[in-house]
Structure 1
Amino acid sequence: MIAWVLIDNGSSLNVMPKTTLDKLYSTGSTLKTSSMVVRAFDGSKREVMGEITLLGCIGSTTFNITFQVMDIQPAYSCLLGRPWIHAVGAVPSSLHQKVKFIAD
């Protein structure tokens, strides 16, 4: 279980800090190399360590979520951005701090 998941419709990536990945490391998942460079909120450039696809359960629904792993120290344990929001048809509400999506 992961606490402090940030859902941000302004983010073009799903981001997982390396510290969170170290806590969750699954032997069935491998970190794929990535040459991506990301511009952070403060305008600085950060390199992506790699990419990993993990199973995520939200409520009773399970998703394959691809994260960009970065060596950062954010206030959240992972960030779900537009790729996840659009893939599941989610509707995030910052005001209510909730997310809605249709589950089969």
Structure 2
Amino acid sequence: MKIAREPITFDDYDLEGTIQPHDDALVVTARISSFMVKKVMIDQGSGANVMYPDLFKGLKLRNKDLSKCTTPLVRFDGRMIVPEGQISLPVNMEGKEVLVTFAVVASFFPYTALLGRPWIHTMGVVPSTLHVKVKFQTKQGIAVVRGSQ
């Protein structure tokens, strides 16, 4: 028997506190490997979770911590980049934690990490760029994480 869950929805109430109109990226704070990390972009268009050099260094990770990753990624500008490697770390939002495999790339990006569809689907996140929020089910009900404009 399935347990009925409250549906995840967005309405005008969710717009309160946002600057409208906007075309901002959905950028949140997340706990990654026990550190609060700002400037984490949630991107429904990305088929990978990506970590950039500033976060890699900030978490005190080393190249020896990486496992092999030979699958190239396609950047926003269409160019391909081969990751330095990959690493799996816990990502926690509002008490819900999942293990995330990040491709570590040595290129500039204005955000510290990118959480793509693999994380979105594992967490069961429903993102809304219009409302600058993500919502997802937890044992306590629906959690709401407001992004930063």
Task: Give the paired residue count.
Answer: 103
Q: CA deviation at 1:12?
A: 0.3
**Equivalent of 1:37 in 43, 48, 72:** 72
Given that 2:98 and 2:122 are in contact with CA atoms closer than 8 Å, whether structure 1 keeps it comes out as no
**Equivalent of 2:96 in 51, 61, 72:** 61
Partner of 1:70: 105
TM-score, length-normalised on structure 2?
Answer: 0.65
Higher relative contact order (CA 8 A, sep 6+): 1
Partner of 2:115: 80
Cα distance in 1, alignment partners of residues 90 and 69 from structure 2: 20
Identity %: 38
Equivalent position amino acid for 2:120 in 1: I
Cα distance in 2, alignment partners of residues 24 and 97 from structure 1: 26
Partner of 1:52: 87
Bigger Rg over Cα: 2
Question: What value does the CA root-mean-square deviation take over the aligned residues?
Answer: 1.6
Q: CA deviation at 1:26?
A: 5.3
Gaps of 5+ in 2: 1-35, 140-149
TM-score, length-normalised on structure 1?
Answer: 0.91
Partner of 2:53: 18
